[in-house]
Every structure is written in C-alpha cells, then in structure tokens.
Structure 1
Amino acid sequence: MTKNEKTILVAWDFSQYAEYALSHALFYSEQTGFDIYLLHTVKDKSLVKDTQAALDKSVQEIWEHEGKKVKTIVKISNMSDGLKEAAQELNSLMIFGGLPGFKGLQRFIGHYVMNAITGSIIPSVVVQQPKLKTDQLTIICPIDHSRQSKTNLAWVQEFAKNCNPKIYLVYPDCDYSLRNELVSSNLKFSRNYLKRFDIKYEEEKLTCQNFKLSMLNFAENKHADLILNATKKESRFNNFFFKSENYSLMANDKQIPVMSIRPQEGLWKYGKFY
C-alpha cells in the first residue's frame, strides 16, 4: 500500500455481526478498489500470535466463501484507540462495525463497538444486518436546520465519485418560521452544492414532528443501504440517564446502516468544504 492509497477498515471480533459489517465493506471495496483490513485488538502482547492465527483463518474462509482477499491488522489496545491508530496508519476512508442491538444499560451507554467507532474522526458505519443484494447503493442524506447537517453533502460527493449511488435528499417540513428558514437555507445550499458537482438526486419532504421516524420509514420503503448522520456531540453524563440521540438512530429498529460523521474533524483529511 502506498501512502496515498485509501483503505476500508472493519472492526473484527469474529462474530456474526462482524461478518455483517464485512459484507457491506466488500461492496464498497468492489466499487472503489480499496483494500479491506480486518482489525482485532488484544490486551496483551502474548495474545498477538494466537490472534493472528485466528485472523489468518478468517481470511482463508472469506476467500473460500466470497472469493475476496482481505488483509489483517492486530493492535495491542482497546477497540476505540485501536481503530483510531489503525485508521490513521492505513489511511482508511471508512470504518465498518457490526452492532447486535441494545440490551439493558447498553440502551443508554451504548455497545462497545458503537462507542469505539463513533469516537473516531474517520467516518464510521454501524450495521445490524448483511448488505442488501443490490448493485446500486441507495443513500439517504438528511438536511435539517442544523449547520452540521451540510457535512453529509461531502460524503454524498465522495460516494458519487465511486459508486454511482441513488441519492435521496430528505428534509423536515417545519411549522415555525425560524427553523423553517434555517432548513430552507441549508436546502438551498445543498441543491447548489450537488448541482455544482453534477450529482443527480431526488428530494422528499417529511414531517417535522418526528423527522427521525419519518426518515427511517422512508429509508425502509426505498430499501436504503445507508443513512448519513452528522454526529452531534453529546454529554456522557446525559447519555447515562437518557437514551442517546446518536445511538438511537444508529441502533434503529429498521436495522438500516448509519454512517456517523463528525463535523469538521471527519473531513479534515479530504479537504472538504465544511
């Protein structure tokens, strides 16, 4: 791998959900030609040899079942730091991780995979089921009143360069004037941005009362592969007592994959507009 080549990173814990994440990563790899790396973290150096042997076995099984070659990397670290180090070292474009849903306190503080990948500055995709068997990528790009929602557009552009996706721009139909003005302003910016890069898309106006639920229902009806989510910073203290808005979307009941994008930081290495 040369310094300028990008890669795709998969959080690999040998589980069924890691395999789900891999199925999505394989699709993006086919579209972009980027190498896939499976990352596993260990707590102690003494575990590296056995872990590498297990990873080599996974690589062989993937080759036998999928006919695809993947690479591996082991980090002596926790998952969060390991993903950060590996993503920077391998020049990763995206991180994929599988999520088995929420149970008990996980509903409030999150699953370890989600906590790890949402803490990364590299955009990360949380998946709960295998990639739909379609040839075209279908993306839901929400634009609301917030400034950071425009961050999603840079990744629409990134996908459009490689995957020829079907793009839906969805936005809330707000009742009160100030928020409606902000939505209208962001929507105007979005149209101009996509037009500038000659990116084809469709628009859909959704109810403002429960925009997230309306978006998920729309995404399900369109058999969407991905929802873009400019991740808002949330207090860990609040997340312990209240269900996190970010986690709630990423662990959605429709099991639609969600890409977590940290505004500004998540785009620093690609020179985007935000």
Structure 2
Amino acid sequence: MEVDSKIIVVPWDFTPVTEYALQHAIKISRQTRNDVCLLHIVDKVTSEGGMKAKQASMENRGAEVERTFGVKVKTHVTRGTIFKQIPEFVNDRKASLVVMGTHGMSGMQKLTGSWALKVIAKSKVPYIVVQAPPNDNERYHDIVFPVDFRSEEKEKLSMAIFMGKYFDSKIHILKAMRKDDSLAKKTNLNLNYTVRMLIQNNIDYEIREVPADKLGEHALEIAQEMKADLILIMTTKDITFADYVWGAKEQYIIANSSKIPVCCVNPTSAFANLGQFMYG
C-alpha cells in the first residue's frame, strides 16, 4: 500500500484540544503525505440538519488547513459513542494513526485519560494522545522510550524508528532495572534488540537505567525534566498487569500534568499497519 493512501484520523468536537490534535496531525502529514480525516461523533438524537451543519463547519476548517499547509483534510460525521465509533472507523478505514486530544469530547462523552485508554484498547492502530499544541512545527526532538521485559516491547519500536526517520528524533531509552533474573534477562534482550535496530536505521539514542518499580512515574519525571516531545508506551488491557509494569496507571501517563504527548501502541495489532505507514 502506498504511503500517501492511508489517513491520520483526528477525533473532532470543535474544542481547543482537538485543534491541538489537528496541529500535531498536520505536522505528521506534511512528512508522510497522509491525508488527515476529522471524525465527529454525535448522539443518536441529533437531527440531520445538525449533522449537516457540523459537516459544513468541518469542511470549512479542512479547506483552511489545505490552503495554509497543503495538507488534504477529509471529514466524517457519524452517530454513536466515542467508544464504538472511533475504533470502528479507524479499523474499517485501515488508518495509519489516530491523533486524539484528551478532555476533547463534550458533555457525557468527555474524553479523559481513563476513557481515552478504553478507546485506544479497541483499536488496531497507534494513538498519539495530546493536551497541547506541538512544541515544534517541524520535529519531535526528544522521545522517551521505556524498555521492560514484555515481548510486546519490540512492537512499539516500529513507532520509534518511524519518528526517528521522519522527524530526526533522539530516542531516550529507559531500561527498567529488574531484580528478578528471568525478567532482567528478558529486559536485556529487548534492550539489545532496540539498540541494534536503532543503529541499523541511523537513529540517535541514549540509555538510562531506572528502577523498575513505578516505571511510568520515572518515565514521566524524566520526560518532564528534558521537556520531551513524546512518551512512547505499550498499552495493555489487563489493568492488574498494567499496575505491575507501570506503577502509575496508563491513564495518568496519558493525561500527565506536563501535557507531554503520549504515543500508545497496542500489542499485536499496530505493527503491520505501522509498517505500511512507514514503508508503503
């Protein structure tokens, strides 16, 4: 599949945080040549006239983006809930990526960190979850990349390679220090594989060792210190296991107080799509 035949989906509700998500999507689209698609969800009682008005407003915003940035923007309005319609749309359309603002859905469908995680877990593509505009309109300079013992860790490496290639990013690897010999061995295998692939792709990196307990909190602290542009994590549907791996629940990483964007990669589902996104 050609690189420019896929779309970047932005869930849209006309609030500032979804505008921030659009700004990130524009930044990515200008490098990848993917079209952007604004997706708006309305409830089942919204009239046809109301839906058409929303569609027209989105088309106007899309036209502004195309004139200003040369990025083609598609629009889609549908009825339902964010939990069903967003994953269904991105899976059916084989989207490359979703860029989603937290706290971006109004009323009863307001999107918080925990609700965002529910949407992400049902999708087959990576999500970048944002709370603020991009720090830089051209690059994602510094990306925090925790590495632990899970075999799925290798899957998020595709996203790191993508960012390194398209945005000249430096990958800041955080190696989780495990006391258990078996888990430490698995972590080292993941680390060695990560480093080997980054070297093969000529991507700059550094390695830091951090305590394995509360890995998520350590990742946030380091990201805040360096004013990172992105934190890259794997998601898991097992909340108990997530607590064991991360310490801080994933939703708190997603909705972090420093408003650092977080890229969430789902185990087993995002790898193939991202490969198409990166390499055609």
Band the TM-score falls in, shorter-chain normalisation = 0.7 to 0.9
Cross-structure match for 1:217 = 221
Cross-structure match for 1:34 = 34
Counterpart-to-counterpart distance in 2, 1:192 and 1:252: 31
Counterpart-to-counterpart distance in 2, 1:3 and 1:136: 19
Of 127-136 and 7-16, the range deviating more from structure 2: 127-136
Cross-structure match for 1:123 = 126
Q: How far off is 1:164 after superposition?
A: 2.2
Of 24-33 and 244-253, the range deviating more from structure 2: 244-253
- Structure 2 SS opposite 1:23: helix
The letter of the residue matching 1:194 is L
Q: How far off is 1:28 after superposition?
A: 0.8
Cross-structure match for 1:170 = 174
The answer (yes or no) to whether the contact 2:6–2:35 under 8 Å persists in 1 is: yes
Q: How far off is 1:199 after superposition?
A: 3.0
Structure 2 length as normaliser, TM-score?
Answer: 0.80
RMSD of equivalent CA atoms: 3.2
Post-superposition CA distance 1:131-173 (Å, at most 9, x none): 1126321222211122222222121122234222221111123
Counterpart-to-counterpart distance in 1, 2:137 and 2:63: 25
Cross-structure match for 2:234 = 230
Cross-structure match for 1:11 = 11
Distance 1:69 1:154, change over 3 A: closer
Q: How far off is 1:246 after superposition?
A: 1.9
Describe how 1:45-60 pairs up with structure 2 within 5 A.
46=48, 47-60=50-63
> Would you say 1:72 and 2:83 are equivalent positions?
no
The answer (yes or no) to whether the contact 2:21–2:100 under 8 Å persists in 1 is: yes
Counterpart-to-counterpart distance in 2, 1:270 and 1:166: 19
Distance 1:230 1:257, change over 3 A: same
> Would you say 1:87 and 2:77 are equivalent positions?
no
The answer (yes or no) to whether the contact 1:114–1:126 under 8 Å persists in 2 is: no
Distance 1:26 1:212, change over 3 A: same
Q: How far off is 1:222 after superposition?
A: 2.3
Counterpart-to-counterpart distance in 2, 1:235 and 1:170: 22
Cross-structure match for 2:164 = 160
Counterpart-to-counterpart distance in 2, 1:244 and 1:209: 9
Q: How far off is 1:84 after superposition?
A: 2.6
> Would you say 1:97 and 2:104 are equivalent positions?
no
